[in-house]
Amino acid sequence: MSEMNATDRVGGTKPPTLQLSGLHKSFGTVEVLREIDLTVERGQMVFVLGRSGSGKSTMLRCCNRLEEPSAGSIFLEGQDICARGVDLDKIRRRIGMVFQSFNLYPHLDARRNVTLALRKVLKLGRDEADERATSALDRVGLANRADHYPGQLSGGQQQRVAIARAIALQPVVMLFDEPTSALDPELVGEVIAVMRELKDLHMTMLVVSHEMAFAREAADRVVFMADGRIVEDAPPEQFFTQPSEESTRAFLARYSA
Amino acid sequence: MDQLILQFFNVEVMAKAWPLLLRGLGMTALLCLAVIPLGLLGGLLAALASTSQSRWLRWPTVALIDLFRALPPLVLLIFVYSGLPFTGLQLPPFLAVVIAFLLNNSAYYGEIIRAGLISVPAGQSEAARSTGLTQSQTLIHVVLPQALRNVLPDLISNSVEVVKMTSLASVVSLAELLYSADMARSVTYNASPITLAALIYLILLWPVVRLMSRFQRKIAI
Amino acid sequence: MSAWDRFAETFLNGEVLARYLPSILGGVWVTVELSLLIVVAGILLGTALACLRAYRIAPLSLLIVVFADVFRSLPPLVLILMGYFGLPNVGFTLSAFAVLFVILTLTLAAFTEEIVWAGITATPKGQWEAARSTGMGFSQTLVWVVLPQAVRMVIPPLTNRAIAITKMTALGSVIGVPDILNQATTAQSFSGNASPLLLASALYVLLFLPLVIASRRLEARFAWRT
């Protein structure tokens, strides 16, 4: 972190936190991403909307190379993470990810779900890791559930622990892959509240989600994808009231009805 | 290396032992034909008794199943073969093997079939009974077919174990495959006949073992 | 003499039992020692092989699969006779104890590899992704995230298999390992009385019945899936 600030002071201009350029991805002969260009500036929250199958989750998963891009580049604070010889594990600890199905480790309690990477990746001592885990769990309002196992937590609580697991590593950007889609409707609110709080703390976030109201209220920009392309990229007010593309209008008409 | 080949893969010795081993293989097949169906039948009865409504049937059956799962099959075999004669009951080796394995296999097959019976939802027999089928009709036409299908891989895997287990019969001088191979070994002072027996077991069982691995992987998740 | 007296004389002969009790108890120690060694070594080796297979290095995986298949297909007694009677002729003499230990350890390792591997492949992909997304490496993820879940999933079948294979230590009596069965059959032929055999059976039940019952409990406990 301190190293990064130093270069900022010297260089003056900050590279965007995340930048995708000319990104392509195909599975066999099927092209799921074509010519994606997207920039997420520091502290921004960018929402990605689109029908299922439009490629939005694949794009998100390319950002930490859970999916391997077929062509194009991805820059994290100016560093090309697809370059040869790059240490992927070092990159990934700076990119937090939250999954649709939480993917908490069922054999570990909430605290150890958070501390595992702190201990094994950052090599922190037990006390320091516990301290960080407590503060991350506190941030998502679950410090009092630290010794509960995932099976003993509600879906909303599990997803909040998953967010704590990611933010404890102090990432420079957080990726959210439909974080509320697997939740019962009454549990969506608590997860959104946590995301709103992260936004207030100026966390940089790229969010794939269907929560339109939240997007409209909190996003800095909204991106719309169709057929593996980004067809619209606008501030939320403009996106929701006067979209420029026909496909965006059709999508909005269908989903906001 | 030459020594190794001469000792374990001596084709000449193998060729000489072949007729003997072939006869042994016939006995192994005969044993399997007796022991597997009997074990399945015993297992079915044990499974039915151990899932019965009556605790006076259930508890003793479970206790017997556990008893025979705790005893090594070879111990059981030697007890039947050389212990029982002390009561004046001298059994020929084949019969001793069949009885010992029947007890062992009934326990193992019984445990498997019991798991299968438990895996069939209660709604199945309720539905069958509500259409007027009797208890035994329900069992035969509705519950058992589903139960057996659910545990088919385990039944097949256990049958592989039973085939392997027939090699224990060599200890009581029943001239099955391994006994014949060991006879040939002691005559030729060469281990190649046993290698040949191993190859025969391998050819017979490997395909089944491989198939089960693939099958079990598919239903594991 | 009544029928019961005759039975007791043949199967529960106090005099014979007293004379051979020490040697049979010595056999208990041999059986227990062998069983523990085999369980520890076999499960460790098999788990290590399953982990190696997770790296999906084609030639290595093939070797592991062939090893596991062969040792699951062959009757252990065949391998024991091969090892005990064949190896000395190529200048490689192992004690009966060592042959039995090696063969049964490899057999248990083969089954363990297969079972643990099934557990590893049954662990959801999301677990790998979650761990890797936090910057954990492949090996770290395998050891700290996937293996603990895989092992938990396969404890019941693994326990059953371990019991079945430790019971096979009785096969050692065929090549002269002085285990319970071997001591008992020796005692029987010297005394011309079946009591040692009944005692041996009782001792096996005493050793293995608690394990069989425990495995039944384990199965019930692990029946849940979250």
CB distance C130–A104 less than 8 Å?
A: yes
Q: Closest residue of C to B5, CA-based?
A: C90
B131: pLDDT strictly greater than 70? yes
**Beta bridge pairs of residue A33:** A25
Section C75-82 average pLDDT: 95
In whole angstroms, how far apart are CA C33 and each of C27, C29, C39, C40, C218?
A: 10, 6, 10, 11, 24
Instruction: Collect all residues of chain C within an 8 Å Cβ-Cβ radius of residue A151.
Output: 226
Instruction: Collect all residues of chain A within an 8 Å Cβ-Cβ radius of residue C129.
Output: 66, 97, 99, 103
The length of chain A in residues reads 257
DSSP states along A42-79 = TT-EEEEEE-TTSSHHHHHHHTTTSS--SEEEEEETTE
Q: Determine contact, residues C133/A97, Cβ cutoff 8 Å.
A: yes
- ipTM for the complex shown: 0.90
Query: Considering chain A, what percentage of its residues have pLDDT values greater than 90?
Result: 87
CB distance C140–A121 less than 8 Å?
A: yes
Sheet with A205-208, strands from edge to edge, namely: A95-98, A173-177, A205-208, A45-50, A221-226, A229-234
Alpha carbon distance C167, B71 (integer Å): 7
Query: pLDDT category, C87, cuts 50, 70, 90?
Result: confident
Number of neighbouring beta carbons within 10 Å of residue A212: 16
Give which of B193, B161, B157 is closest to B24, Cα–Cα.
B193
Residue A116, SS3?
Answer: helix
Q: Hey, what are A145's tokens?
A: 């559930």
φ, ψ dihedrals at A46, nearest 5°: -110, 125
Alpha carbon distance C198, B194 (integer Å): 32
Residue B193, SS3?
Answer: helix
Query: pLDDT category, A2, cuts 50, 70, 90?
Result: very low
Query: pLDDT category, C223, cuts 50, 70, 90?
Result: low
Alpha carbon distance B96, B100 (integer Å): 6
Q: Which chains would you list as touching C if contact means 3+ CB atom pairs under 8 Å? A: A, B
pLDDT at C1: 63
A6: pLDDT strictly greater than 60? no
pLDDT at B213: 87
Number of neighbouring beta carbons within 10 Å of residue A94: 20
Number of neighbouring beta carbons within 10 Å of residue B219: 9
Q: Which helix (H) or strand (E) holds C181?
A: helix C180-191
CB distance A103–C136 less than 8 Å?
A: no
Q: Hey, what are C213's tokens?
A: 């019952």
Q: What angle do CA C140, C141, C146 make, to 5 degrees?
A: 130
Q: Determine contact, residues B31/B166, Cβ cutoff 8 Å.
A: yes
Instruction: Collect all residues of chain C within an 8 Å Cβ-Cβ radius of residue B178.
Output: 75, 77-78, 81
Q: Phi-psi bin for A43: left (phi > 0), alpha (psi -120 to 50), beta? A: left
Q: Closest residue of B to C179, CA-based?
A: B75
- Summarize pLDDT for A91-107 with one digit per residue, the tens: 999 999 999 999 999 99
Q: One-letter amino acid identity for B74?
A: L
Which pairs from C125-132 meet CB under 8 Å and 24+ separation?
Answer: C126/A99, C126/A101, C126/A103, C127/A103, C127/A105, C129/A66, C129/A97, C129/A99, C129/A103, C130/A97, C130/A99, C130/A103, C130/A104, C130/A105, C130/A162, C130/A165, C131/A105, C131/A116, C131/A117, C132/A66, C132/A89, C132/A92
Q: Closest residue of B to C184, CA-based?
A: B75
Q: What angle do CA C178, C182, C187 make, to 5 degrees?
A: 110
Physical contact, A and C (3 or more Cβ pairs within 8 A): yes
Residue C157, SS3?
Answer: helix
Physical contact, B and A (3 or more Cβ pairs within 8 A): no
pLDDT at A41: 95
Q: Where do the structural domains in chain C lie, given as residue ranges? A: 22-221
Q: Closest residue of C to B199, CA-based?
A: C74
Query: pLDDT category, B5, cuts 50, 70, 90?
Result: confident
Residue in C174, C197, C207 nearest the CB of B171: C174
Q: Closest residue of C to B178, CA-based?
A: C78
Physical contact, C and B (3 or more Cβ pairs within 8 A): yes
Section C109-117 average pLDDT: 96
Q: One-letter amino acid identity for B218?
A: K
CB distance C132–A92 less than 8 Å?
A: yes
- Summarize pLDDT for A169-192 with one digit per residue, the tens: 999 999 999 999 999 999 999 999
Query: pLDDT category, A1, cuts 50, 70, 90?
Result: very low
φ, ψ dihedrals at A220, nearest 5°: -85, -35
C:89-118 residues touching chain B, CB 8 A cutoff:
89-91, 114, 118
A47: pLDDT strictly greater than 80? yes
CB distance C82–B191 less than 8 Å?
A: yes
**Hunting for tokens 């020692």 — which residue is that?**
C33
Residues 6+ apart with CB under 8 A from B196: B14, B17, B18, B21, B181
Sheet with A30-40, strands from edge to edge, namely: A30-40, A18-27, A71-76, A79-80
Number of neighbouring beta carbons within 10 Å of residue A233: 17
Q: One-letter amino acid identity for B221?
A: I
C217 touches chain B (CB under 8 A): no
Alpha carbon distance A109, C71 (integer Å): 39
A7: pLDDT strictly greater than 70? no
Query: pLDDT category, A13, cuts 50, 70, 90?
Result: confident
The length of chain B in residues reads 221
Superfamily per CATH, domain B2-220:
MetI-like (1.10.3720.10)
CB distance A90–C135 less than 8 Å?
A: yes
Among A4-13, A36-45, B92-101, C144-153, which stretch is predicted with the lowest mean pLDDT? A4-13
Number of neighbouring beta carbons within 10 Å of residue A122: 17
C121 touches chain B (CB under 8 A): yes
Instruction: Collect all residues of chain C within an 8 Å Cβ-Cβ radius of residue B3.
Output: 89-91
Q: Where do the structural domains in chain B lie, given as residue ranges? A: 2-220
CB distance B206–C200 less than 8 Å?
A: no
**Hunting for tokens 């106090």 — which residue is that?**
C14
- CB burial of residue A104 (10 Å; 0-12, 13-18, 19+): buried
- Summarize pLDDT for C188-206 with one digit per residue, the tens: 888 888 889 999 999 999 9
pLDDT at B140: 92
pLDDT at C91: 80
CATH hierarchy code of domain C22-221? 1.10.3720.10
How many interchain CB pairs under 8 A, B with C? 138
Section B43-56 average pLDDT: 94
Q: Determine contact, residues A106/A184, Cβ cutoff 8 Å.
A: no
pLDDT at C189: 86
Q: What is the DSSP letter of A16?
A: P
Distance to chain C for B32, nearest Cα, Å: 14
Selected residue with higher pLDDT from B207 and B218: B207
Q: Determine contact, residues B183/B149, Cβ cutoff 8 Å.
A: no
Selected residue with higher pLDDT from A108 and A4: A108
C:54-83 residues touching chain B, CB 8 A cutoff:
69-70, 72-79, 81-82
Alpha carbon distance B154, B160 (integer Å): 10
How many interchain CB pairs under 8 A, A with C? 69
